Structures are given as structure tokens and as C-alpha cells.
Amino acid sequence: MKKVVLKDIANHVGVSTALVSYVLNGQAVEKQVSKENAARIMAAAEELNYRPNQIAKSLKTQKTHTIGLVVADINYRFSSGITRAIEAEAKRKNFTVILGSSNENAGKFDELVNVLVNRQVDGLILVPVENSEKTIVNLQRQEVPFVLVDRNFPELRTNSIILDNYKAAYDSTSYLIEQGHKKIAFMNYDSTMANLIDRTRGYRQALEDNGITPSEKLMPLIRPLSYKSDIQKGITHLTSSKVACDAIFFATDRIAIYGLQHLNTLNLKVPEDVSVFSFDESEAFELFYCPVSHARQPLEKMGRLAVNALLELVNKNKITNQVYLESDFVIGRSCRE
């Protein structure tokens, strides 16, 4: 079967090849092509089953109309949610997304970034991992357009779309205090990532502002490589008669899931024995007998802003902007009043 080219569409409609090129390359308005001609050209392209030569197109425009996306772990609900949001916005802008997952490994993160750059993507949207600063600095030196989402490195001046983690944790802790809780535990990863550090800061400050002295006994740290056993030990410690916290604030959905599992193992009821609040939501919460109250990140907005910020950079608008978004709250029945 003969491949349909621009000239075939032009002959079919009775217009110039240049006019067809303007319409199919999204320049109809810019080149002042009439709406009638634009509609006829698009209809003819569909009727003749026209397929653009992407290689020739990218050589001409110096763009591949692809975005590289690296998430931290595709198994996280955040990762799947932000991916859907980015893909939807990219599609609206006629871009294709190439996805990779670093599995929270700095070496794999660096490898994926290099692969995507070598694939000549137009730009990158990245969820960085711990100890990946060197990769970010290299991208800056190479002047590769990129935007960080969810996490950033405060010491590096980069374009980023992230949650105001401090405020979200502060507001979450304040909500628990308003519900009458005084011994609020906080379970977080032992990490140098700014987003997790900010969650701890927000938790501590909310306690202090309400006249409650933070206690290290109520803040067990979870090592990422042994998170299951550390969460079990932490839950056992926090609910022991010696500590007896009245609420547990989980800093991530993964910690919350395994924390809830161990509360079940100990035959502790939520919220009768202990209240529970999670930073971020999880589909696994739907399987729990009690709807879990949680802070929810605006994933659709985050994805939309990330794509648009990246395309500004791709179009040579060299700006550096750090956007902080606010979470909202989903109140279930896991916190007793």
C-alpha cells in the first residue's frame, strides 16, 4: 500500500502542500488558515489514513514531541496517579510520555535519565531519589530542560512542582489535636529527602504551637531497606502500656498500610484503641474496615503544571520557578472524636 504524503492530501482537498503542512503541524491559527480549510484538511487526512513521518518531522523541527518521565516507584499510588495526570496533559499538548521507574535507587535513576536524554526526549519530568543531586546538577550543566515533581533539593535552584509538605503535616497534626489527642505518634522514614524532613518539621511545630512537647519516643524512624520489620517494631512500641499513644500519624501511605496491618495483628481496633491518620491515600485503604482519614495531594494539578512548566523550558523560556501546592483532607472514621 502506497504511503500517503502531504501532496496526496493537498490534491484531494484542492489546496497547497504548504497549507496542509501548517494545519497538520498545529499552525493553522498562526498561519491564518481558514477554519473551513483546516477542517477539510483534517477530514481528508483521516479519510486517507495519513500517518506523519515522525523522524522527518523531528529533524525539521529539532523536536521529538516526547517527554521522559522518571518516577520513584511505579507501585506507589502517587506514582501511578501522577503518571496518569502527566500523560493526560501531555496528550493534550500532542506529546508522548516515555516512562521509567527508578525503584528509589540513585544508580538506576541516573541510568534512566541518561537513556532518556540519549533518546533525545524534548525534556524530563523527574521524581528524584535520595542521593541523586549529582544527576540533577549534570542535567543543569548540559542545559537539558527538566522539572522536578513531588521532591526537590532546596540547595539546588531548579524548576519544581511540589506539595507544601510542612503545611500539610502541620495541618494534619493540628486536626488530630483538635480531635482531643495529646499523645500523637509520628512514623516517618529515616531519610535526607526534603519532603519527608518537612513533614516531620510540620508535625513537631504543630505540637509545640499547641503546648505539647515533642517526644522522640513517639517518633520511631523507619529504615527504607527494612521498613516492614521497623514498622512492626514501631507499632508494638507505640501501643505498649509504657508509651500508649492515642493517635498515630503515618508520614506515607506505604507506612500506613503496613502499620494498619500490624495493628490488626495486635488485635487493636481503629479508632477505639488508637486513632490513625495518613499522609497520602492508598487504594488499599478501601480494604480496611474503617475509612482512613488522610491528606490528599492534588495529583492532577501537579501533573498539569509540571507538563506546562516543562514545555515553557522546551520553548526556550528559561525561568526558574518553585511551585508549592496545598493538600486537602479526606476525613474518614479512623480518628475518634
Yes or no: say if 179 and 275 are a contact pair by the CB < 8 Å rule: yes
Residue 120 inside a domain? The answer is yes
Percent of the chain beyond pLDDT 90?
Answer: 71
pLDDT digits (tens, 9 = 90+) for 1-52: 567 788 888 898 898 888 888 888 777 777 788 888 888 988 888 888 877 6
pLDDT at 112: 96
- 244 and 141: one domain? no
The parent domain of residue 15 ranges over 6-52
pLDDT digits (tens, 9 = 90+) for 117-159: 998 899 999 999 999 999 999 999 999 999 999 999 999 999 9
pLDDT at 60: 46
- 267 and 151: one domain? no
From 164, 154, 230, select the one nearest 192 (Cα to Cα). 154
pLDDT for residue 59 is more than 60: no
Residue 4, SS3 per DSSP: coil
- 80 and 30: one domain? no
Residue 332 inside a domain? The answer is no
**CATH number of the domain enclosing 109:** 3.40.50.2300
Residue 12 inside a domain? The answer is yes
Residue 141 inside a domain? The answer is yes
Residue 57 inside a domain? The answer is no
* Angle, in degrees to the nearest 10, between helices 6-13 and 17-24: 110
Residue 66, SS3 per DSSP: strand
Return left, alpha or beta for 180; rule: phi > 0 is left, psi -120 to 50 is alpha, else beta.
left
- 176 and 195: one domain? yes
232 contacts: CB under 8 Å, gap ≥ 6: 258, 262, 265
Cell of 171: 495541618
- 175 and 233: one domain? yes
Yes or no: say if 179 and 241 are a contact pair by the CB < 8 Å rule: no
pLDDT for residue 57 is more than 60: no
Q: For cell 509520628, name the residue.
A: 186
Yes or no: say if 157 and 321 are a contact pair by the CB < 8 Å rule: no
What average pLDDT does range 283-309 have in this prediction?
Answer: 90
Residue 323 inside a domain? The answer is yes
- Chain centre distance of CA 39: 37
Exposed / middle / buried, residue 225 (Cβ in 10 Å: 0-12, 13-18, 19+): exposed
- 277 and 250: one domain? yes
- 242 and 308: one domain? no
Residue 214 inside a domain? The answer is yes
Number of domains in the chain: 3
Yes or no: say if 239 and 274 are a contact pair by the CB < 8 Å rule: yes
- 72 and 218: one domain? no
Q: pLDDT-based confidence at 301, cuts 50/70/90?
A: very high
pLDDT at 157: 93
pLDDT at 138: 94
32 against 216, higher pLDDT: 216
**CATH number of the domain enclosing 43:** 1.10.260.40
pLDDT for residue 58 is more than 50: no
Residue 89 inside a domain? The answer is yes
- 179 and 246: one domain? yes
- 142 and 216: one domain? no
Q: Which amino acid is at 62?
A: Q
What average pLDDT does range 164-170 have in this prediction?
Answer: 97
- 110 and 193: one domain? no
pLDDT at 34: 87
218 contacts: CB under 8 Å, gap ≥ 6: 183, 184, 185, 186, 238, 243, 245
Q: pLDDT-based confidence at 53, cuts 50/70/90?
A: low
- Chain centre distance of CA 258: 22
pLDDT digits (tens, 9 = 90+) for 64-87: 899 999 999 888 888 999 999 999
